[in-house]
Structure 1
Amino acid sequence: MVDMPFALHDVVEMKKSHPCGENKWKIIRMGADIRIKCQGCGHSVMLPRREFRKKMKRVIEHAEQ
């Protein structure tokens, strides 16, 4: 398995910002699909893992272990 740079409850930055203007997202579910929640308005989006990896820019905050 490939080393994942992100984990559950990490805050990540995506390449494109959300229409509300925020660019910080929290990972709230991981599996074959990844659900992320906007830190600005609270809207959640589910993306296939492959698409999420392409659209993610970087990890802003790592979750506490």
Structure 2
Amino acid sequence: MDNKDFNLGDIVQMKKDHPCKKSQYFKIVRMGADIKIKCEGCGAVIMMPRHEFAKKLKKIIERSED
């Protein structure tokens, strides 16, 4: 997956689901050197380096409207 094809507000699916088991989708809420994603099921926020995020990203479910 190309590092440049995700944007702020996109809904993404990661390779592993969140342990809450309510949702497998996350919303990108912050971008920079680190990426912050929020679980759509329980609202938990996870922060990880951009290169780690790109490696764990499975696919983009919904693009944000700009």
Task: Output the TM-score relative to the length of structure 2.
Answer: 0.92
Show the 5 A alignment for 1:1-65: 4-21=4-21, 22-65=23-66
Unaligned runs of 5+ in 1: none
Measure how far apart 1:47 and its partner are: 0.5
Percentage of identical aligned residues? 55
Unaligned runs of 5+ in 2: none
Aligned length in residues: 64
The whole-number CA distance in structure 1 between the counterparts of 2:30 and 2:11 is: 12
The whole-number CA distance in structure 2 between the counterparts of 1:52 and 1:16 is: 12
The whole-number CA distance in structure 1 between the counterparts of 2:3 and 2:16 is: 24
Q: CA RMSD in A?
A: 1.2
Measure how far apart 1:56 and its partner are: 0.4
